[in-house]
């Protein structure tokens, strides 16, 4: 449960929601709450008591921590602001040290609380996991517990007053918080970032999750791509067109190289993996090299693409096209990759390749490492998502009356309709469109 304001959680979840949460945890589930998510899980809270503009007090329904959470531990908090934000020093206790946590770190803090008298609640299943080292602005009579673990039935709730999930960031980013000299910016921020990751890893392990021990964030190795077509000769024809932009002197009898704007594409015939000599030739290239296995005959077997059955996909595509009264070419040729940066950027950022692709050319991925959401936030798409991009050659004369955004909207509408009419009961799925092309369930 993330930070923010716990009154919103109460409004949305009190009653049915908290009952489900309590039942889930008591039956062996795990709960992780940061800042407001921690306040929300305590039996009672006191936030800025006496400050009429900010005061929030009262009992809470979850009660995973059977006591009082009082805050803010450090003064200066303002909603929707970094004015009171700071980096506080946390001292870690043995329970997390045994999980690989460092003995201390600096964590981002903005309005979090102290778990009062935690040391008196051990007989009720409470473990103190971390303490604030800095002097508190609300008194220290009830202790300085900054993080606690609470046994709840067969489950466990882990509550943290600070925000260790907040990336330490660069000095330039941190300095934007203001309060020069008083907000505890880590001097050795790179070292602190490693400590933060080790602390987060320890939290996850305490919850029974598996977590890697390395703090080095290495980009995952991208998979080879597979180019195939629904109809005989489709891939052969496309490869012939792509040869117009191939890189002279860098192609061989069974391979073709296209050095596009951000990616170097190495096409290998007959679904053959790139040979070592070809790999060595591109080892020093500055651009990212992507290997494309081409299938001019039958598409790849399921064993080569276990997360996406291309043969089955083409069978469904053919059946649909045969049912239509109009000629449809969308969905093929198909470029599939189990793991790629982004189905959109791999063509959109490589105009040299894009200009030669036919309308209807489709890119599908099982997972993406550089997906973009609202506000340009990058995220790694989870397994199970339908990740695809389609090339549409839209006449520019229609740009005013029928801009491309409406094509996205129509496709989103068609996907929602397809889900709603998929089978009995699917019409009750609460699926919606967020203009123009986001599809979500809530």
What is the extent of the structural domain holding 135? 6-206
Please tell me whether residue 147 adopts helix, strand or coil conformation. Answer: strand
pLDDT value at position 313?
97
Residues 135 and 279 reside in one and the same domain: no
pLDDT value at position 441?
85
Q: What is the mean pLDDT of residues 367-379?
A: 71
Residues 115 and 17 reside in one and the same domain: yes
Residues 366 and 416 reside in one and the same domain: no
> What tokens appear for 122 in the block?
């051990």
Of 206, 240, 265, the last residue of a domain is 206
Residues 149 and 260 reside in one and the same domain: no
pLDDT in tens, 187-201: 677 788 899 999 999
Which residues, 6 or more positions from 265, have their beta carbon under 8 angstroms from its beta carbon? 257, 258, 259, 289, 290, 292, 350, 353
Residues 277 and 341 reside in one and the same domain: yes
Percent of the chain exceeding pLDDT 90 equals 65
Residues 275 and 419 reside in one and the same domain: no
Which CATH number does the domain housing residue 12 bear?
A: 3.40.50
Q: Is residue 1 part of a domain?
A: no
The answer to whether residue 233 scores a pLDDT higher than 90 is yes
Strands (E), 161-313: 225-228, 255-259, 263-268, 288-294
Question: Would you give the DSSP letter of residue 427?
Answer: G
Q: Is residue 421 part of a domain?
A: yes
Specify the number of domains making up the chain.
Answer: 3
Residues 384 and 440 reside in one and the same domain: no
Q: Is residue 211 part of a domain?
A: no
Q: Is residue 111 part of a domain?
A: yes
Q: What are phi and psi of 275, to 5 degrees?
A: -80, 160
Token look-up 């531990």 returns 73
Residues 405 and 272 reside in one and the same domain: no
Residues 18 and 163 reside in one and the same domain: yes
Residues 159 and 281 reside in one and the same domain: no
Residues 389 and 401 reside in one and the same domain: no
Q: Is residue 213 part of a domain?
A: no
Mean model confidence pLDDT for the chain: 88
Higher pLDDT residue, 10 or 383?
10
Q: What is the mean pLDDT of residues 269-292?
A: 61
Q: What are phi and psi of 309, to 5 degrees?
A: -80, 95
Which residues, 6 or more positions from 212, have their beta carbon under 8 angstroms from its beta carbon? 201
> What tokens appear for 438 in the block?
């986001």
Q: What is the mean pLDDT of residues 235-248?
A: 92
Q: Is residue 215 part of a domain?
A: no
Burial class (CB in 10 A: 0-12, 13-18, 19+), 386: exposed
Q: Is residue 191 part of a domain?
A: yes
Strand 86-92 and strand 126-132: the pairing is: antiparallel
The answer to whether residue 182 scores a pLDDT higher than 50 is no
pLDDT in tens, 132-161: 999 999 999 999 999 999 999 999 999 999
Of 393, 409, 433, the last residue of a domain is 393
pLDDT value at position 168?
72
pLDDT in tens, 318-343: 999 998 888 878 999 999 999 998 99
Q: Is residue 342 part of a domain?
A: yes
Q: Alpha-carbon distance 69 to 66, whole Å?
A: 10
pLDDT band with cut points at 50, 70 and 90 for residue 178: very low
Q: What is the mean pLDDT of residues 156-182?
A: 71
Q: What is the number of residues in the chain?
A: 442
Minimal CA–CA distance to 338: which of 219, 229, 225? 225
Residues 331 and 414 reside in one and the same domain: no
Higher pLDDT residue, 441 or 287?
441
Of 206, 240, 271, the last residue of a domain is 206
Question: Would you give the DSSP letter of residue 303?
Answer: G
């Amino acid at each position: 449960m993330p930070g923010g304001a716990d009154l919103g959680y109460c409004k949305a979840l009190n009653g049915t929601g908290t009952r489900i949460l309590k039942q889930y945890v008591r039956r062996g589930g795990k709960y992780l709450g940061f800042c407001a998510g921690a306040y929300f899980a305590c039996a009672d809270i006191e936030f800025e008591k006496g400050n009429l503009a900010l005061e929030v007090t009262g009992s809470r329904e979850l009660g995973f921590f059977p006591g009082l959470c009082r805050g803010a531990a450090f003064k200066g908090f303002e909603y929707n602001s970094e004015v009171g934000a700071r980096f506080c020093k946390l001292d870690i206790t043995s329970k997390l040290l045994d999980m690989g946590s460092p003995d201390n770190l600096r964590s981002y803090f903005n309005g979090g609380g102290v778990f009062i008298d935690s040391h008196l609640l051990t007989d009720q299943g409470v473990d103190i996991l971390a303490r604030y080292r800095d002097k508190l602005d609300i008194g220290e009579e009830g202790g300085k517990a900054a993080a606690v673990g609470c046994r709840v039935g067969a489950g466990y709730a882990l509550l943290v007053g600070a925000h260790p999930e907040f990336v330490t960031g660069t000095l330039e980013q941190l300095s934007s918080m203001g309060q020069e000299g008083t907000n505890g910016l880590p001097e050795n921020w790179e070292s602190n970032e490693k400590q933060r990751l080790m602390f987060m890893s320890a939290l996850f392990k305490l919850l029974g999750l598996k977590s890697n021990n390395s703090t080095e964030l290495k980009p995952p190795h991208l998979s080879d791509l597979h180019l195939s077509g629904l109809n005989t000769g489709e891939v052969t024809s496309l490869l012939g067109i792509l040869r117009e932009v191939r890189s002279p002197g860098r192609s061989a009898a069974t391979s073709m190289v296209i050095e596009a704007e951000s990616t170097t594409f190495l096409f290998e015939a007959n679904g053959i993996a790139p040979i070592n000599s070809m790999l060595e030739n591109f080892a020093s290239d500055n651009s990212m090299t992507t290997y494309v296995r081409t299938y001019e005959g039958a598409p790849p077997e399921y064993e080569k693409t276990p997360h996406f059955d291309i043969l089955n996909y083409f069978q469904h595509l053919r059946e649909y096209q045969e049912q239509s009264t109009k000629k449809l070419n969308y969905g093929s040729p198909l470029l599939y990759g189990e793991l790629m940066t982004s189905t959109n950027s791999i063509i959109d950022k490589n105009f040299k390749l894009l200009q030669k692709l036919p309308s209807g050319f489709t890119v599908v991925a099982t997972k993406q490492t550089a997906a973009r959401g609202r506000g340009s936030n990058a995220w790694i798409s989870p397994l199970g998502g339908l990740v695809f991009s389609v090339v549409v050659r839209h006449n520019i004369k229609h740009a005013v009356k029928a801009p491309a955004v409406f094509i996205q909207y129509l496709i989103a509408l068609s996907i929602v309709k397809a889900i709603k009419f998929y089978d009995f009961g699917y019409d009750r799925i609460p699926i919606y469109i967020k203009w123009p092309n986001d599809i979500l369930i809530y």
